[in-house]
């Protein structure tokens, strides 16, 4: 593909509550075996983008660990590759990334040194499959300056947490409001953009001069009436991790056969870092129903309507219902967990009870030392 | 100049004919094991865990699956700038072209590969055992004894020693005598087919015996070294070591992995076993599924019942199907309502709906009674079994079969159904 990729993975989201204490949203574990950034990286790899920059800033430890090798997404290449750009101080600049446009401005050299004519910019917290070549074809056909990939959401998804968009009959964006108080449309930005590299450099330089730092507000929305900005409608499943509720429901979507088959069985695949874990083990006394179980798990108790991420140990007589247990959690005997997300690498004591009540998902963090108990 | 202290030569060219249809199109080291592994993963992981980063894999019989699996060695961290894994098939030479005619002959034909790395020691391995072993400890033993050759040995029960090649040592573990399958064994230390040679000793012996037809380590090289008075030592290994050479032992060692705390534990952090992971997604266990004592690989979809079984990655068990005491390898589909009892079903097999596998009384297999025994149903890779058929015990099936292959809808115990060329 005649484009380079930029993944915006620096953000934090307070609506992720305690889950964001540990990692950036882009590193959130998804569907048992993945992290949310795997989707955008796999899409870029599968669209034959060879050179990808990931901008990280907030709490990037998990993310950096996940990206410690580029080979899993097939970016271990002589031509191109995967670049992780964290803010650095230079003689001219001592700021953190003050926004998405500033992140690009601080790494303008990457954009300038490339020779591909287009740039695909995408956030690291979307769960979807998309061939960016199709978006580029649309972009060229519409003679657009920018193309924004959009998705339709429902009332219950609360469109006001997104960039809300209205288009004319040709698909050109006429209205674009970022996180409005009340939304007047259910078409929202999926945080995926295509733009000509030269134009991007020009607008980013101009914004930097004017001390404007946000790509959506200060570039897209500001130039909406001057530049031709088109909406490309996401053809299939799309979800965005921006709150505990959306995180929970996105994961639970994978219990549905059509969504599971779409991501897990239909070509092309989503890739992730491979961890060498043995197959999941079900001991006598275990009972698992309607659940996803990842490799390295050992199950002795009851699991229903839940997702067990990698290397989860479920003790005897435990009951786990409608919950997400993140990576490497040890759950002691006789424990009851319902409507919860259990934070990764935790050890839950025996005989405890956690229930998320009144439709609220409870986040369980015990921080016990596993071998001290 | 390149210098590696010890390199490994892994003999992976054998067919493993006692695994019957499982090795019809796959070399034995590439046969799947334990839900997500292949047999060769164990020696390869042992190599990298022991600090041996240069491994020549000698292939000959049906190497496609093996080549695909090993690739450039990424899963084992054997993709190296210097060393790493190299696949070594037989090749044509200006004066001759021959297959590998024996274990030592195969190594002899790759003298130049070994010379390139300028090793002090060469480790000779087979590709057909399940075990975790630190070859570095064995090398330390070899060095401490100033040995020319060290054999890895394992104590076996005295009453079984007559099935093995045993060694008789003095109190310093120096080998005095060899006995191949002795009627009245005088020792219970069995050779594991793992050798460390000091490189000059190996090189001299291989060149000396180069015209020996079918030159073999156990039959020719070791006796030659013994006769000329080389210092040969027995290193005693005391961990789990399982030969998976027969369908019975293959089935048994898979089943051992399901035990509450398996003797051979894959869940330990220490000494991981690495493999090429083709599938990343988690497995799905449906609302109407029953899973009771099993290990299950990635991306499997379980809608039926599983009891005491090893299920590979990407397997689909349709609603109402029941699988007991069986090994189902990757990407195989078990149709709705089908009952599978004590079967080994290889990769990419489609078993139709409402079949019964493993029915009736046991009867010896009519074609290969010593291979297809243990009461097992064995189905080779890429096979197709039609709906509504019954299959007896000690049976073997390979290829795309249709209802007309099963008179009265039955393949009776002891029968073999092999269709070649249909695919």
Q: What are B342-367's pLDDT values in tens digits?
A: 999 999 999 999 999 999 999 999 99
pLDDT over 60 (residue A268)? yes
Cβ–Cβ < 8 Å for B287, B304: no
Q: Which of A9-18, A289-298, B88-97 has the lowest mean pLDDT?
A: A9-18
Cα distance between residue A110 and residue A106, in whole Å:
9
Using the predicted structure, report yes or no on whether residue B18 has a pLDDT greater than 70: yes
CA–CA separation, A39 and A73 (whole Å): 10
Mean pLDDT check: name the lowest of A46-50, A56-60, A201-205, B391-395.
A56-60
- Which chain A residues are closer than 8 Å to B277 by Cβ? 274, 276
Beta-strand relationship, A3-8 and A51-55? parallel
* Maximal C-alpha separation, chain B: 70
Interface test with A, best of B284, B292, B308 (most A CBs within 10 A): B284
CA proximity to A104, closest of A218, A213, A229, A217:
A213
In this complex, the residue of A284, A289, A298 whose CB is nearest that of residue B287 is A289
Residue among B331, B333, B365, B266 at smallest CA distance from B32: B331
**pLDDT at A12 exceeding the cut of 90:** no
User: Helical H runs in B18-155?
Assistant: 41-49, 64-70, 103-108, 111-117, 135-144
What was the pLDDT predicted at B422?
Answer: 44
**Chain B residues touching A78 at Cβ < 8 A:** none
**Residue range A148-176: mean pLDDT, rounded:** 92
B329, B351 Cβ separation under 8 angstroms? no
Contact yes or no for B56/B8 (Cβ under 8 A): yes
pLDDT at A373: 61
Q: Is the peptide bond before A268 cis (omega within 30 degrees of 0)?
A: yes
pLDDT (mean) for A89-102: 90
Quick one: pLDDT at residue B180?
83
Contact A289 B266 (CB under 8 A): no
Q: What is the pLDDT of residue B421?
A: 57
- CB A373: neighbour CB atoms within 10 A? 12
Q: Is A46 helix (H, G, I), strand (E, B) or coil?
A: helix
B71 phi, psi to nearest 5 deg: 55, -130
Nearest to A124 by CA among A216, A30, A201, A22: A30
> Which 1-40 residues of chain A touch chain B by CB within 8 A?
31-34
- Distance between CA atoms of residues A250 and A127, nearest Å: 8
- The contact set of B with A (CB < 8 A) is 34-36, 74-75, 258, 260, 266-267, 272-275, 277, 280-299, 306, 310-311, 313
Among A70-79, A186-195, B188-197, which is the least confidently predicted range?
A70-79
Task: Please give the pLDDT value at position B423.
Answer: 41
- Among A53, A69, A64, CA closest to A109: A53
Pairing of strands B395-398, B416-418: parallel
ipTM score above 0.85: yes
Task: Count the neighbouring beta carbons within 10 Å of the beta carbon of residue B188.
Answer: 17
- Min Cα–Cα distance to chain B from A343, Å: 18
B410 pLDDT band, cuts 50/70/90, is very high
Task: Write the DSSP string, B298-357.
Answer: TT-EE-SEEEEEEE-TT-EE-TT-EEES-EE-TT-EE-TT-EEESEEE-TT-EE-TT-EE
How many whole angstroms separate alpha carbon A289 and alpha carbon A119? 44
Window from A364-373, B82-91, B286-295 with minimum mean pLDDT: A364-373
3-state helix, strand, coil in chain B (%, to 5): 20, 30, 50
Strand partners, A239: A127
**A109 to chain B, closest Cα gap in Å:** 31
Instruction: Label residue B268 by pLDDT band (50, 70, 90).
Output: confident
Asked if pLDDT for residue B265 goes beyond 70, the answer is yes
């Amino acid at each position: 593909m005649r484009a380079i990729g930029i993944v915006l993975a620096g953000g934090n989201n307070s609506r992720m509550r305690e889950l964001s204490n540990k990692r950036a949203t882009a590193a959130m574990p998804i569907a048992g075996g993945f992290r949310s950034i795997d989707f955008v990286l796999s899409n870029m790899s599968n669209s034959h983008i060879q050179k990808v920059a990931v901008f990280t800033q907030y709490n990037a430890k998990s993310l950096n660990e996940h990206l410690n090798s580029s080979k899993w997404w097939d970016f271990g290449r002589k031509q191109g590759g995967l670049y992780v750009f964290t803010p650095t101080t230079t003689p001219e600049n001592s700021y953190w990334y003050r926004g998405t446009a500033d992140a690009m401005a601080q790494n303008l050299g990457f954009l300038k040194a490339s020779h591909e004519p287009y740039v695909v910019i995408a956030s690291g917290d979307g769960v979807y499959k998309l061939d960016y070549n199709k978006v580029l074809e649309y972009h060229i056909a519409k003679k657009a300056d920018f193309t924004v990939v959009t998705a339709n959401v429902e009332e219950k998804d609360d469109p006001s947490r997104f960039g809300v968009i209205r288009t004319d009959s040709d698909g050109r964006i006429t209205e674009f409001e970022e996180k409005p108080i009340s939304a007047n449309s259910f078409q929202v930005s999926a945080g995926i953009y295509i733009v000509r590299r030269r134009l991007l450099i020009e607008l980013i330089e101009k914004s930097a001069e004017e001390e404007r730092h946000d790509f959506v507000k200060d570039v897209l929305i500001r130039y909406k009436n001057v530049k031709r900005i088109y909406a490309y409608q996401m053809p299939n499943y799309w979800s965005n991790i921006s709150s505990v509720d959306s995180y929970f429901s996105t994961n639970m979507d994978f219990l549905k056969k059509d969504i599971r088959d779409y991501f897990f069985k239909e070509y092309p695949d989503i890739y992730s870092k491979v961890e060498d874990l043995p197959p999941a083990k079900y001991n006598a006394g275990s009972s698992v129903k309607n659940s996803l179980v990842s490799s390295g798990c050992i199950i002795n108790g009851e699991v229903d309507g839940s997702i067990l991420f990698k290397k989860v140990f479920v003790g005897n007589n435990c009951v786990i219902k409608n919950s997400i247990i993140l990576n490497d959690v040890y759950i002691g005997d006789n424990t009851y967990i319902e409507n919860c997300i259990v934070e990764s690498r935790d050890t839950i004591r025996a005989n405890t009870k956690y229930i998320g009540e009144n439709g609220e998902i409870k986040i369980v963090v015990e921080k016990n030392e596993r071998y001290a108990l | 100049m390149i210098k590696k202290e010890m390199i490994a030569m892994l003999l992976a060219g054998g067919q493993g004919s006692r695994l019957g249809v499982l090795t019809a199109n796959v070399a034995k080291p590439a046969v799947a094991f334990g839900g997500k592994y292949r047999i060769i993963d164990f020696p390869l992981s042992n190599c990298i865990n022991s600090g041996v980063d240069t491994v020549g894999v000698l292939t000959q019989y049906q190497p496609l699956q093996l080549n695909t699996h090993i690739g450039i060695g990424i899963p084992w961290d054997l993709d190296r700038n210097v060393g790493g894994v190299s696949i070594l098939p037989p090749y044509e030479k200006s004066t001759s072209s021959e297959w590998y005619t024996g274990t030592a002959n195969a190594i002899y034909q790759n003298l130049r590969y070994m010379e390139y790395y300028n090793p002090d020691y060469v480790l000779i391995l087979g590709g057909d055992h399940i075990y975790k072993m630190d070859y570095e400890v064995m090398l330390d033993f070899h060095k401490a004894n100033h040995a020319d050759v060290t054999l890895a040995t394992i104590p076996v029960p005295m009453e079984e020693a007559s099935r093995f090649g045993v060694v008789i040592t003095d109190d310093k573990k120096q080998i005095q005598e060899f006995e191949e399958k002795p009627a009245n064994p005088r020792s219970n230390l069995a050779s594991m087919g793992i050798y460390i040679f000091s490189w000059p000793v190996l090189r001299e012996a291989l060149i000396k015996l180069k015209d020996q037809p079918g030159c073999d380590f156990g039959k020719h090289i070791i006796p030659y070294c013994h006769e000329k008075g080389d210092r040969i030592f027995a290193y005693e290994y005391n961990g789990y070591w399982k030969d998976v050479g027969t369908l019975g032992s293959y089935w048994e060692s898979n089943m051992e992995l399901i035990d509450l705390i398996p003797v051979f534990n894959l869940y330990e952090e220490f000494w991981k076993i690495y493999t090429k992971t083709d599938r990343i997604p988690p497995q799905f266990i449906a609302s109407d599924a029953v899973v009771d004592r099993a290990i299950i690989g990635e991306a499997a979809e379980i809608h039926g019942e599983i009891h005491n079984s090893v299920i590979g990655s990407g397997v689909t068990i349709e609603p109402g199907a029941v699988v007991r005491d069986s090994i189902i390898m990757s990407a195989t589909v078990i149709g709705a309502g089908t009952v599978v009892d004590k079967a080994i079903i290889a990769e990419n097999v489609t078993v139709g709906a409402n079949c019964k596998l493993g029915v009736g009384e046991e009867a010896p297999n009519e074609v290969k009674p010593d291979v297809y025994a243990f009461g097992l149903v064995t189905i080779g890779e890429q096979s197709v079994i039609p709906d509504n058929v019954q299959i007896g015990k000690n049976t073997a099936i390979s290829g795309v079969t249709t209802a007309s292959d099963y008179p009265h809808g039955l393949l009776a115990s002891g029968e073999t159904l092999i269709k070649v060329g249909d695919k």
